[in-house]
Amino acid sequence: MSLPHAILTALLEKPSSGLELTRRFDRSIGYFWPATHQQIYRELGKLEQAGFIRALPSERPARGQKKEFEVLPAGRAELTAWASGEQDTKPVRNALVLRLRAAAVVGRAGLDDELRRHLTLHQRQLAEYEEIDSRDFGAVADPEDRLRRLVLRAGIGLETFWVQWLEEALAEVADMDAEADGEAGSGADTGVRAGE
Amino acid sequence: MSLPHAILTALLEKPSSGLELTRRFDRSIGYFWPATHQQIYRELGKLEQAGFIRALPSERPARGQKKEFEVLPAGRAELTAWASGEQDTKPVRNALVLRLRAAAVVGRAGLDDELRRHLTLHQRQLAEYEEIDSRDFGAVADPEDRLRRLVLRAGIGLETFWVQWLEEALAEVADMDAEADGEAGSGADTGVRAGE
DNA sequence: AAGATCATGTAAAGAGTTACATGATTCG
DNA sequence: CGAATCATGTAACTCTTTACATGATCTT
């Protein structure tokens, strides 16, 4: 149940329309809690019905017309309550790591490419985070920004870890392929069927 | 669409019943792709219907009776195909980090406790991984085990990162609280309402 | 006027979670 | 025999994803 609270946080930082929220989720908050515009519109509807937010008065409220929301006192209270309690830790799922285990059983065909692809993605994300870091957090003083920087440092740390791990994994796989070549004497056998 | 492939991998490693699979998911594969017994039973039904696995012949196939599954050639082919292609990277969601952003807006009440709680959880998981590492991977030689060890090292690296980050976060928050005390001159104000 | 883009939405399918139901076996 | 445990399953719900629908505004 974190999406509504992510939205409340975003709206407290700055009242926004559904599409504006969607864009902001693509950048900052969405790094740790991504959401599509469909999820956001649905959740905005629920939050409005619950009395946590309200649409700012507009001349012509209609479909296709921008509709801005702001957080009501009840919404702030809800967020405060949520932020004071315990979060239930959601399980982590990672398909790439799963694939490594599959490769141990059905062979390493294509594994190298996939590791490289992920390495590029993580390097890119890391660069993005570091750019934000140097742009937004030069000399940090106030508590709000210190907390937000902690969030960013989580992102940087995670991406750094993945880059390192992927480089290690690539080296390891290359080494395995080299050994397989040496033993079998064959040429470009990337589809080694280990575990058979 | 990774759960069926996680199950195929597990069944190739060793044919199992639904409950046995559930237990194995609690330990090894489940570290990166957790699943409950309900998910597993449902998926086993689908995999069987698709002709990817079959139930080993049993004397009395009935409800409440153990039912073991093994992977058929079509299932192996499916897993091989999946493992050779690109995985779509699933978005990462992290409620704790979200909570930090919320704390930047509605205050840090209870934040310290929550960080400490997560620190304990991650320390425990790290210890578990390291125990597995020293128990199962003494001198590694064959490719299958080298790949499985890479998986484990991903777990160890991730948990190590979180432990470090949480310690850093705790220190930072403590420092903020100390400063708030100094400025306001008040006593134990952990509910500082930043951003108001 | 046509096309691109902004903006809000609906529908349906898929994945994951929670609660409950039921039969078989084992142990005191 | 009764209780605990092993084992398989159903049902209902929530959350997420994907595809599509529709109106408003701006540009050429």
> Does residue A191 lie within any of the structural domains?
no
**pLDDT for position B191:** 46
- B167 — contact with chain A (CB < 8 Å)? no
Q: How far apart (Å, rounded) are the C-alpha atoms in residues B84 and B76? A: 12
Q: What mean pLDDT value characterizes chain B?
A: 89
Contact B83 A110 (CB under 8 A): yes
| Chain centroid to CA B92 | 12
Same domain, B76 and B107: no
Residues touching nucleic chain D (CB < 7 Å): A 1-3, 34-36, 38-39, 42, 60, 62-65; B 17-20, 37-38, 41-42, 44-45, 63-68, 88, 90-91, 93
3-state secondary structure A7-46: HHHHHHHCCEEHHHHHHHHHHCHHHCCCCCHHHHHHHHHH
Mutate to test the interface with A, among B94, B132, B136, B159 (most CBs of A within 10 A): B94
Residue A42: nearest nucleotide (C-alpha to C1'): C9
Which parts of B40-90 are beta strand (E)? Answer: 53-55, 68-71
**pLDDT for position A195:** 39
Q: What is the mean pLDDT of residues B164-184?
A: 88
**pLDDT for position A66:** 83
> Does residue B118 lie within any of the structural domains?
yes
Same domain, A124 and A172: yes
pLDDT band at B62 (very low <50, low <70, confident <90, very high): low
Return the minimum-mean-pLDDT range out of A75-79, B53-57, B162-166.
B53-57
> Does residue B16 lie within any of the structural domains?
yes
pLDDT band at B187 (very low <50, low <70, confident <90, very high): very low
Q: Return the bridge partners of A129, or none.
A: none
What spatial distance separates the first Cα and last Cα of chain A, rounded to whole Å?
Answer: 44
**pLDDT for position A189:** 44
Same domain, A182 and A145: yes
- B14 — contact with chain A (CB < 8 Å)? no
> Does residue B191 lie within any of the structural domains?
no
Q: How far apart (Å, rounded) are the C-alpha atoms in residues B17 and A64? A: 53
Same domain, B111 and B46: no
> Does residue B169 lie within any of the structural domains?
yes
> Does residue A175 lie within any of the structural domains?
yes
Same domain, A155 and A117: yes
Same domain, B127 and B103: yes
> Does residue B88 lie within any of the structural domains?
no
Same domain, B25 and B107: no
**pLDDT for position A10:** 96
**pLDDT for position B144:** 87
Which pLDDT tens digit goes with each residue over B91-150?
A: 999 999 999 999 999 999 999 999 999 999 999 999 999 999 998 887 767 888 999 999
pTM equals 0.89
Residue B34: nearest nucleotide (C-alpha to C1'): C16
Same domain, A100 and A176: yes
- DSSP conformation letters of A99-134: HHHHHHHH--TTHHHHHHHHHHHHHHHHHHHHHHHH
For residue B167, give its domain range. 95-186
Q: Mark which of B13, B47, B81 sits at the end of a domain.
A: B81
> Does residue A194 lie within any of the structural domains?
no
Contact assessment for residue A87 and residue A36, using Cβ atoms and an 8 Å cutoff:
no
Same domain, B102 and B47: no
Tokens of A15: 């009242």
**pLDDT for position B189:** 44
Q: In degrees, to the nearest 5, what angle opens at C-alpha A171 toward C-alphas A126 and A105?
A: 105
* Averaged pLDDT in 10-residue chunks for chain A of 196 residues: 94 94 92 95 94 81 78 96 90 94 95 96 95 85 90 96 98 90 56 43
Q: Mark which of A32, A49, A81 sits at the end of a domain.
A: A81
Q: What are phi and psi of A138, to 5 degrees?
A: -75, -80
**pLDDT for position B196:** 39
Contact A80 B106 (CB under 8 A): yes
Same domain, B70 and B108: no
The pairing of strands B16-17 and A68-71 is: unpaired
Helices (H), B50-94: 73-84
Same domain, A142 and A74: no
User: Radius of gyration (Cα) for chain A, nearest Å?
Assistant: 23
Number of domains in chain B: 2
Q: Mark which of B81, B113, B143 sits at the end of a domain.
A: B81
Whichever domain contains A21, its CATH number is: 1.10.10.10
Same domain, A116 and A38: no
